[in-house]
Amino acid sequence: MKHAFPYFYGALIGGAIGDALGAPIEFMRFEQVIGILGEHGVSEYIIPPGHKHALVTDDTQLMLFTAEGLIRSATRAHRKNKERTLEGISIAVFRAYLRWLYTQGLQTARWSRKDYDGWLVKVSRMHAYREPGVTCLTTLGKGVMGTLDKPVSDSLGCGCVMRVVPVGLVEEKERVFDVAIRLAAITHGNPTAYLSAGVLAYIIHEIIEDKEIEDAVYAAKLRVSKEQGSERVVEKIDLALNLARQGKPSRDQIDRIGNGFDAHEVLARAIYAALSYPNDYLKGVLLGINHSGDSDSIGGITGCILGAYLGAQKISSDLIEKVELHREIKELATDLITFYQEGEEWLKKYPAW
């Protein structure tokens, strides 16, 4: 069992590091990257002038707000002596996403300043605008929570995938997939997108249950195959598994998976990268980053998988200390392990409404 701080922290900080490593080349063709950085592409952080840390994107920001929403759903259930239902969890995380929206300079109708409460929204560095995805901005800006039955978009984008990693850390096997797809559907109503999110959460859960990465991926594939509309997701997972089994990890192989921007292709590229270097965090993440695709999202998801598998102790302390928000991420990982604690200090940190 890896239900312990090093692996929770590894999943979150691993994702943030991969996100920050890939962010500077997110919108670039790899031919351009080679022209600037050389044939191997990104090999270390590219820290912008005037900054002390490598910068994360909205992928990491939303992952952290998912964690906060999950904790607040537990706090609310305990304080009101109620069961944590799928609907209650979804509402709590939707409100967390509206707090994220506020950090991006926007706010929803019918909310006042007092509604943007708790500790995370008050972290000044969370208010950095990092070119967030259009789907998340526009759907959340409506102030209406998308559901599986009433989607608010038909986006195939990957902005709903990495953010559900905390679901895999804390939810029970019987409902980890169901929670994840509902949280993804808050903004992304296309089944291929939200089912990809469900797969990632399931993989993380299985890894925390001490499964090998390939076994976790296979179990997640079996779970998603039960869902209507899962064909494209399953096809890409199978391709990633088959390519990884061939050995000799390469950029050419990862490019065979697809364009690297749609949710199922981003997920599959990350799975391939993690399977290619299951015992080497940095090599796996760099493979996930260095190509013509959504480098920060693929690097982030690869980092989450490898971080959960290896634990934070197998990630370079230099990588950890140079990524922004690493202290806040450590605090959230600690609180996810606790999940609920009696007392006014906890309640102030995670209000129960």
Angle between helices 191-208 and 176-185 (to 10 degrees): 140
Q: Is residue 343 part of a domain?
A: yes
Instruction: Report yes or no on 180 lying in a domain.
Output: yes
Does 48 reside within a domain? no
**In this structure, is residue 45 part of a structural domain?**
no
Instruction: Tell me whether residue 322 is in a domain.
Output: yes
Is position 194 within any domain? Answer: yes
For residue 346, give both structure tokens: 């906890």
Return the HEC string of 257-306.
CCCCCEHHHHHHHHHHHHHHCCCCHHHHHHHHHCCCCCHHHHHHHHHHHH
In a domain, 44, yes or no: no
pTM of model > 0.95: yes
Q: Which domain does 88 fall in, by range? A: 5-39+54-349
Domains held by the chain: number: 1
pLDDT in tens for each of the 353 residues of the chain? Answer: 899 999 999 999 999 999 999 999 988 888 999 999 998 999 999 999 999 999 999 999 999 999 999 999 999 999 999 999 999 999 999 999 999 999 999 988 788 888 999 999 999 999 999 989 999 999 999 999 999 999 999 999 999 999 999 999 999 999 999 999 999 999 999 999 999 999 999 999 999 999 999 999 999 999 999 999 999 999 999 999 999 999 889 999 999 998 889 999 999 999 999 999 999 999 999 999 999 889 999 999 999 999 999 999 999 999 999 999 999 999 999 999 999 999 999 999 999 98
Which two tokens mark 286?
A: 């760099």
Look up the CATH number of the domain holding residue 180: 1.10.4080.10
Q: Give dist(CA 153, CA 95) in Å, integer.
A: 18
Measure CA 309 to chain center: 15
* Residue 62 · residue 183 · CB < 8 Å: no
In a domain, 244, yes or no: yes
State the CB neighbour count (10 A cutoff) for residue 352.
16
